[in-house]
Amino acid sequence: MLPEAYEDRDSGPTTGTAALPSVGGMQTIVRPAVAVTDLTKVYGTGDTAVRALDGVSVTFAAGGFTAIMGPSGSGKSTLMHCAAGLDTVTSGTVQLFDGRGEATDLTGLGDTALTKLRRTRIGFVFQQFNLLPTLTAAQNITLPLELAGARPDPEWYATVVDVLGLRDRLGHRPNQLSGGQQQRVACARALLARPDVVFADEPTGNLDSKTGQEVLDFLRRSVAELGQTVVMVTHDPTAAAYADRVVLLADGRLVDEIARPTADSVLDRLKRLGA
């Protein structure tokens, strides 16, 4: 099954990001951002135990855009949550690498240490946007850094805000923003601290296709132009085509991988998976 994945190596993205240089190619030896080894996650005990992840090993390259796909209930969200240190693992390790290549084993960290690490080293984009309704867009964006007691780099802040087109929306509260704008605020929040990795769980799931594309474009650009690492869970083959690599999950196991995916190749592979 695996060798087939390499056939698609040369088929580039079919959508508007073609002009961007690809940094995540398989030929290049790249530094890892997150390495997951033998990850198992079991929910519950006894008869009701659910093996959501069953010995998953995967590495997300620094500066790469990876999409995680698979049928519903295959463990995509679980993998993401464990890799992001939001959830505990049953066994296995999750290593997060900083810019100098130094690894931190997330599975060995306590809750407070994990929380502090999430402030600056991991960014999140959720399907439901999850902005704080009481804070303005600007306050939402700077929240993680403020919690870390750090000041955002003004230049970088300006870049992120401008790239996302949020300049004239900064003083608004989330309920005064459209869904797409809210998700762009969430993206800005995730990127402002220049984290080692950004995790996005179905970021376009609640958006129409046009605004969804805008968000995906931005994620793509942040990888290509800003050197960001992005890991995205999605059900949508078109969305997956923005990534430079797709990993496929089924029944808690890594079953396939597509480099330089296109919407068609992804759809094809998913069909073969029986999804």
Ligand X SMILES: Nc1ncnc2c1ncn2[C@@H]1O[C@H](COP(=O)(O)OP(=O)(O)OP(=O)(O)O)[C@@H](O)[C@H]1O
Residue 148 touches other proteins, criterion: CB under 8 A:
yes
Supply the minimum distance, in Å, between the C-beta of residue 239 and ligand X: 13
CA distance 256 to 273: 9
Angle at 130 between CA 129 and CA 135, to 5 degrees: 115
State the CB neighbour count (10 A cutoff) for residue 49: 11
* DSSP string for residues in 143-191: HHHHHTT-PPPHHHHHHHHHHTT-GGGTTS-GGGS-HHHHHHHHHHHHH
- Binding site partner of 74, from ligand X, Mg ion, other proteins, none, Cβ cut-off 5-8 A by kind: ligand X
Nearer to ligand X, 89 or 177 (CB): 89
Asked if residues 59 and 66 have their Cβ atoms less than 8 Å apart, the reply is no
Indicate the burial class of 190 (C-beta count within 10 angstroms; 0-12, 13-18, 19 or more): buried
> Pattern of binders to ligand X over 7-46, x per CB under 6 A?
------------------------------------xx--
Q: Which of 58, 62, 81, 164 binds other proteins (CB under 8 A)?
A: 81
Least gap, CB of 174 to other proteins (angstroms)? 9
HSE-up of residue 66 (Cα within 13 Å, Cβ side): 26
Contact yes or no for 215/15 (Cβ under 8 A): no
* From the list ligand X, other proteins, Mg ion, none, partner contacted by residue 118 (C-beta under 5 to 8 A by kind): other proteins
With CB under 5 A as the contact rule, the residue among 17, 66, 77, 213 that binds Mg ion is 77
Q: Is residue 146 part of the contact set for other proteins (CB under 8 A)?
A: yes
CB 201 within 8 A of CB 127: yes
- Residues 6 or more apart whose Cβ sits within 8 Å of residue 25: 244, 259, 260
Binding mask 64-93 for ligand X (x = CB under 6 A): ------x-xxxxxxx---------------
Positions in the binding site for ligand X (CB under 6 A):
43-44, 50, 52, 70, 72-78
Positions in the binding site for other proteins (CB under 8 A):
81, 86-87, 111-112, 115-116, 118-120, 124, 126, 128, 130-135, 143-144, 146-149, 173, 175, 189
Positions in the binding site for Mg ion (CB under 5 A):
77
